[in-house]
């Protein structure tokens, strides 16, 4: 401590200006000179002169000490001179000389002493420093050892040292855990050989180590203690023994199984993605913002005719049709300006061969994390065929429109003709109605009159002849009547005349009409009617339908029963005529209500008929009476024809 | 013997009705169009009239209206005759004032019965 203080003091004083020290010594000297004079040159006072000399030498330097010693002699001499002691000048000077010599000896001795002390201090300081440094180094080493030990125990990587024959000499806890040991202690002394999946890998590695000395991040397929596979990344070096022989190996390793699997998965994923891009059925490309192709796939090469190498030296502008370019560039501008996110357009490329390829391009832009445009992703579909089809279609359409125009005018002409024909047809029907019926009415009237015996008795043959003529005329009249009815229904010119009727009365009228034939054939009639059914309908048309059903029933039955039944359920009236006749074959059912269809049966000729009866009946029922017709039949057993009618056609 | 006026334009029908009425024991006078028929009805005052509805000059319905509007002919029974009657003809004609309605083609015996009933010769 004292040394330290001295050192500080020393250096403090040393920093003071030598001039000020010198002045201090000088003032001290003058002060001592005045004491010397006052004391009358006492020898003991003379010793006091040594004080400023000491100060000068010790704190300033040897030269300053010499100067002060001379000043002291001058001061002392001056005091002596003014006292005028009895010394002669010679003795006076001699004394001064002796005194000066003594002072100089004092200065020399003092300087030597100071130098000696300083040297000693320096040596002590050096030693002390060295001791301090050693202490520090020891401390650092201790800390370092602690750190490394901690690192060794806690690091995730395995750290090992093994003998040249492959036994673990050292293994950290992480290493033990990676290799499947419960603790490092368990592994020490064990052979590491069993951790190699392929022992030749080890040979190979040792070869590398011998030649190059170290390996780093060297992947190895290994096995854990329990035999499960593991992939390890090894960094190792040879530790030579003092004799320079291979002493063993040391290094670090880490478990990269998961990382490697992730890498494999990533590579597979990348492969898949690459394949999806490369082998996509449509053209795909990455395009730089300035239009350079950065990556193109096979489909794009094949649709453009250029090889991948060629395309990569070109821009999309190079192969785009000039007429389509500005529209495309406008889209590019918009997508770069973020006005739009994606775009799609149809445009033309020039194939390498020079022909035009129509494409549909869909484009989106990829940006980096700072939002700067990186590249466009373009999907390019060859739509040449579609375009060609569209053009052909357009031509067809134009052609069709032309045809339609022609046809329309033709139709218009035809329509005029048809209108005229319709008028003629109406006239014809009206004419038929009157002109054909009038003579037929005559024939029927006269034959009836003659047959009734009013004009005198007829023999059998005459009666038969006249009956045939009469029946033929009736048949013809029925045919004409049916045709006129059908024509009118089809032309929508027949109207219903609704009136309130009792169903039983209409049935009675119908029975009256067919009674003679019924009687002739010896058929039984059964009536099964709900009482008092009244309905609002067209009486005449209903009667017409009913007569038709009943005369059919009679015509096509040779024996048995004709049954007429009726029911009323809610607002529906059901009326049916059943027979036990020949019935209708399943295959003929669909022809039943068609015009001019007469089914092939053994009764066909005998029964007669126009082939229009059921067709007309169905039309009357559906169009005029607002009802429905249905039929059930079993061939050989009989048929049932039914009507379903609304109870009031005005509300139907 | 009652006399019937037949108003009918078709010659054959005229003959048929005439003979039919003759067999039934009636005298007949004939008119071949509507206006002639009405005049004869006024002048001859027949016991009944057989009126064809489809006539060449004026419609049978109009003739019927005139007969019914005239004091002289108002009470004479009129039997209307139509060829191919339209639905509603029957009601229309009965409402217009005819006493019976016969459809062509004529069934002789039925027609005679209808006529007799209309003129009150049988009940």
Helix B89-96 × helix B60-69 angle, to 10°: 20
Residue-wise pLDDT tens digits, A202-253: 888 888 888 877 888 888 888 888 888 898 888 888 877 666 667 788 889 9
Q: Who among B10, B54, B88 is closest to A497 (CB)? A: B88
What is the secondary structure of A428-473 as a DSSP string? HHHHIIIIIHHHHHHHHHHHHHHHTTTT----HHHHHHHHHHHHHH
Question: Chain A contacts of B54, Cβ < 8 Å?
Answer: 434
What confidence category does residue A79 fall into, taking pLDDT thresholds of 50, 70 and 90? confident
Residue of A nearest to B90 (CA): A540
Strands B78-83 and B48-52: parallel
Other CB atoms closer than 10 Å to residue A89's CB: what's the count? 8
Neighbours of A153 (CB within 10 A): 12
The answer to whether A538 and A496 have CB atoms below 8 angstroms apart is yes
**Residues above pLDDT 90, as percent of chain B:** 64
Which residues of B are less than 8 Å from A496 in CB distance?
A: 87
Res A190 pLDDT > 70: yes
Determine the residue of chain B that is closest to A439 in CA distance: B12
Which chain B residues are within 8 Å of A473, Cβ to Cβ? 105
- Burial label for A286, CB within 10 Å (0-12, 13-18, 19+), is middle
User: Is the pLDDT confidence value at A70 over 90?
Assistant: no
Long-range CB contacts for residues A29-32, cutoff 8 Å, separation at least 24? A29/A68, A29/A71, A29/A72, A29/A75, A30/A75, A32/A72, A32/A75
**A559, A523 Cβ separation under 8 angstroms:** yes
- What DSSP state is assigned to residue A588? G
- Lowest-confidence region among A46-60, A309-323, A637-651, B12-26: A46-60
How many whole angstroms separate alpha carbon A401 and alpha carbon A408?
Answer: 10
Mean pLDDT, residues A287-310? 92
Quick one: which of A336, A293, A335 has its CA closest to A318?
A: A293
Q: Tell me which of A118-132, A187-201, A344-358 is least confident.
A: A187-201
- What is the largest distance, in Å, between two alpha-carbon atoms of chain B? 36
Interface of A with B (CB under 8 A): 433-434, 437-442, 444-446, 448-449, 452, 454-455, 473-474, 477, 481, 484, 495-497, 499, 538-541
Q: If DSSP codes are grouped into helix, strand and coil, which group holds residue A279?
A: coil
Under a CB-based contact definition with an 8 Å cutoff, are residues B66 and B98 in contact? no
B83 vs A contacts (CB less than 8 Å):
434, 437-438, 441
% of residues, chain A, pLDDT over 90: 34
The burial of A316, by beta-carbon neighbours within 10 Å (0-12 exposed, 13-18 middle, 19 or more buried), is given as buried
**Among the partner residues A439, A448, A497, nearest to B108 by beta-carbon distance:** A448
Higher pLDDT, A9 or B54: B54
Q: Would you state the structure tokens that stand for residue A589, as one six-digit string?
A: 């059912």
Verify whether the Cβ–Cβ distance B84 to A433 is below 8 Å.
yes
Q: How many angstroms separate the CA atoms of A616 and A482, rounded?
A: 7
Residues from B in contact with A at Cβ < 8 Å: 10, 12-13, 16, 19-20, 23, 54, 83-84, 87-88, 91, 104-109
Q: Least CB-CB distance to B16: which of A440, A442, A496?
A: A442
Q: Over the stretch B76-96, which tens digit does the pLDDT of each residue have? A: 999 999 876 555 677 778 888
CA distance A524 to B58: 49
CA angle A19, A22, A27 (to 5 degrees): 125
Of A404, A363, A403, A362, nearest in space to A383 by CA:
A362
Comparing A164 with A383, the larger pLDDT belongs to A383
Q: How far apart are CA A645 and CA B111, in angstroms?
A: 33
Q: Which residues of A touch B105 (CB under 8 A)?
A: 440-441, 444-445, 448, 473-474, 477
Model confidence pLDDT, tens digit, residues A577-626: 999 988 888 888 888 888 777 777 776 666 667 778 888 899 899 988 99
The nearest alpha carbon in chain B to A437 belongs to: B83
The pLDDT of residue A361 is: 93
Closest residue of chain B to A456, computed from CA coordinates = B23
* Distance between B75 CA and the closest CA of chain A, angstroms: 29
Of A16-20, A63-67, A610-614, least confident by mean pLDDT is: A16-20
Q: Which residue of B has its CA nearest to A539?
A: B87
From CA A213, how far away is CA A219, in angstroms rounded? 17
Cross-strand partners of A260:
none
Strand partners, B81: B52, B102
Categorize the per-residue pLDDT at A196 as very low, low, confident or very high, splitting at 50, 70 and 90: confident
User: Which residue in chain A is spatially nearest to B25 when comparing CA positions?
Assistant: A454
Residues of A in contact with B106 (CB under 8 A): 441, 444-445, 448
- Among the listed residues A462, A471, A464, A463, the one whose alpha carbon sits nearest the alpha carbon of residue A443: A471
Q: What is the pLDDT of residue B49?
A: 96
Contacts of A541 in chain B (CB under 8 A): 87
* A394-452 confidence digits (pLDDT tens): 999 999 999 999 989 998 999 999 888 877 877 777 677 777 888 888 999 999 999 98
Which residue in B108, B110, B113 has the most chain A C-beta atoms within 10 A of its own C-beta, making it the best mutation to test that interface?
B108
What's the pLDDT score for residue B85? 55
- Cross-strand partners of A350: A356
Condensed to tens digits (0 to 9), the pLDDT of residues B8-66 reads 998 999 999 999 999 999 999 999 999 999 999 999 999 999 999 888 888 888 999 99
**Contact state of A441 with B109 under an 8 Å Cβ cutoff:** no
Tokens of A107: 């200065």
Residues of B in contact with A439 (CB under 8 A): 12
CB contact under 8 A, B87 and A477: no
Closest-CA distance, A433 to chain B, in angstroms, reads: 7
Q: How confident is the model at residue A296 (pLDDT cuts 50, 70, 90)?
A: very high
| Beta-carbon separation of B105 and A477 below 8 A | yes
Q: Which residues pair with A361 in a beta bridge?
A: A345, A380
Query: A60: which residues sit within 8 A by CB, 6+ positions away?
Result: A18, A21, A22, A25
pLDDT, average across residues A543-560:
90
Alpha-carbon gap: B34 to the closest alpha carbon of chain A (Å): 17
Question: Facing residues of A505 across strands?
Answer: none
pLDDT for A292: 93
Nearest by CB to A449, which of B16, B54, B88?
B16
The b-or-e profile of A18-38 (16+ CB within 10 A means b, else e) is eeebbebbbebbeebbeebbe
Alpha-carbon gap: B87 to the closest alpha carbon of chain A (Å): 6
Residue A85: what pLDDT? 64
pLDDT at A14 over 60: no
Q: Say yes or no for a CB contact (<8 Å) between A454 and B23.
A: yes
For range A539-547, the mean pLDDT: 90
Does A434 sit within 8 Å of B13, measured CB to CB? Answer: no
Question: Can you tell me the mean pLDDT for A344-353?
Answer: 93
A96 pLDDT tier (thresholds 50, 70, 90): confident
Q: A454, A488, A493: which to substitute to probe chain B, counting the most B Cβ within 10 Å?
A: A454
Angle A539-555/A503-521 helices, nearest 10 degrees? 20
The interface predicted TM-score of the complex, written ipTM, equals 0.89
User: What average pLDDT does the structure give for chain A?
Assistant: 86
Q: Say which residue, A533 or A33, is predicted with more confidence.
A: A533
Structure tokens at A343: 């775009």
Q: Is the full-model pTM beyond 0.80? A: no
């Amino acid at each position: 401590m004292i040394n330290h203080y001295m050192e500080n003091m020393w250096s403090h004083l040393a920093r003071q200006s030598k001039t000020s020290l010198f002045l201090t010594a000088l003032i001290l000297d003058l002060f001592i000179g005045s004491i010397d004079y006052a004391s009358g040159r006492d020898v003991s006072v003379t010793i006091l002169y040594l004080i400023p000399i000491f100060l000068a030498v010790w704190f300033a330097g040897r030269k300053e000490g010499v100067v002060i010693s001379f000043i002291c002699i001058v001061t002392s001499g001056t005091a002596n001179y003014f006292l005028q002691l009895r010394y002669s000048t010679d003795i006076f000077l001699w004394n001064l000389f002796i005194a000066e010599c003594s002072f100089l000896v004092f200065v020399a001795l003092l300087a030597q002493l100071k130098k000696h002390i300083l040297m000693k201090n320096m040596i002590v300081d050096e030693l002390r420093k060295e001791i301090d440094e050693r202490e520090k180094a020891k401390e650092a080493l201790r800390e370092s050892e602690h750190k490394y030990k901690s690192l060794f125990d806690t690091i995730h990587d395995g750290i090992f040292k093994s003998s040249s024959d492959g036994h673990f000499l050292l293994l950290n806890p992480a290493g033990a855990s990676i290799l499947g040991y419960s603790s490092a202690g368990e592994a020490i002394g064990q052979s590491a050989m069993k951790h190699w999946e392929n022992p030749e890998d080890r040979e190979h590695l040792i070869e590398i180590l011998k030649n190059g000395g170290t390996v780093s991040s060297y992947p190895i397929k290994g096995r854990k203690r329990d035999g499960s596979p593991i992939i390890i990344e090894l960094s190792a070096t040879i530790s030579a023994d003092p004799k320079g022989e291979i002493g063993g190996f040391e290094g670090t390793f880490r478990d990269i199984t998961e990382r490697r699997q992730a890498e494999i998965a990533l590579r597979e994923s990348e492969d898949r993605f690459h394949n999806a891009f490369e082998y996509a059925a449509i053209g795909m490309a990455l395009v730089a913002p300035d239009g350079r192709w950065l990556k193109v796939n096979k489909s794009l090469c094949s649709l453009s005719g250029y090889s991948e190498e060629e395309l990569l030296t070109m821009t999309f502008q190079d192969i785009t049709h000039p007429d389509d370019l500005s529209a495309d560039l406008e889209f590019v501008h918009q997508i770069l300006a973020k006005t739009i996110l994606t775009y799609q357009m149809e445009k033309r490329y020039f194939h390498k061969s020079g022909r035009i390829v129509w494409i549909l391009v869909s484009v989106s832009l990829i940006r980096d994390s700072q939002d700067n445009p990186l590249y466009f992703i373009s999907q390019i579909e060859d739509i040449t065929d579609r375009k060609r089809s569209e053009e052909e279609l357009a031509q067809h359409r134009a052609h069709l429109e032309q045809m339609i125009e022609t046809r329309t005018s033709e139709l218009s002409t035809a329509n005029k003709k048809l209108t005229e024909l319709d008028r003629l047809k109406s006239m014809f029907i009206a004419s038929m109605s009157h002109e054909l019926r009038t003579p037929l009415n005559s024939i029927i009237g006269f034959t009836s009159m003659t047959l009734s015996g009013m004009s005198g008795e007829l023999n059998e043959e005459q009666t038969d002849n006249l009956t045939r003529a009469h029946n033929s005329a009736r048949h013809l009249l029925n045919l004409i009547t049916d045709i006129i009815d059908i024509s009118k229904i089809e032309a929508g010119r027949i109207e219903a005349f609704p009136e309130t009727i009792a169903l039983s009365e209409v049935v009675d009228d119908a029975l009256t009409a067919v009674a003679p034939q019924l009687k002739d054939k010896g058929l039984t009639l059964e009536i099964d009617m709900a009482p008092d059914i009244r309905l609002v309908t067209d009486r005449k048309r209903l009667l017409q339908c009913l007569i038709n059903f009943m005369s059919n029933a009679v015509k096509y039955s040779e024996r048995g029963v004709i049954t007429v039944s009726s029911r009323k359920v809610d607002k529906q009236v059901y009326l049916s005529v059943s027979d036990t006749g020949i019935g209708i074959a399943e295959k003929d059912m669909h022809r039943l209500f068609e015009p001019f269809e007469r089914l092939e049966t053994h009764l066909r000729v005998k029964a007669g008929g126009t082939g229009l009866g059921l067709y007309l009946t169905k039309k009357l029922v559906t169009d005029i009476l607002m009802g429905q017709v249905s039929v059930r039949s079993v061939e050989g057993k009989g048929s049932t024809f039914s009507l379903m009618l609304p109870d009031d056609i005005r509300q139907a | 013997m009652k006399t019937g006026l037949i108003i009918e334009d078709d010659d054959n029908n005229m003959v048929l009705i005439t003979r039919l009425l003759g067999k039934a024991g009636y005298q007949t006078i004939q008119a071949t169009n509507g206006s002639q028929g009405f005049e004869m009805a006024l002048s001859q005052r027949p016991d009944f009239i057989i009126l064809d509805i489809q006539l060449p000059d004026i419609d049978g319905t109009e003739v019927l209206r005139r007969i019914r509007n005239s004091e002289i002919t108002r009470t004479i029974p009129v039997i209307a005759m139509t060829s191919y009657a339209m639905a509603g003809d029957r009601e229309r004609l009965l409402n217009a004032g005819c006493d019976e309605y016969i459809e062509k083609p004529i069934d002789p015996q039925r027609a005679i019965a209808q006529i007799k009933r209309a003129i009150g010769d049988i009940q």
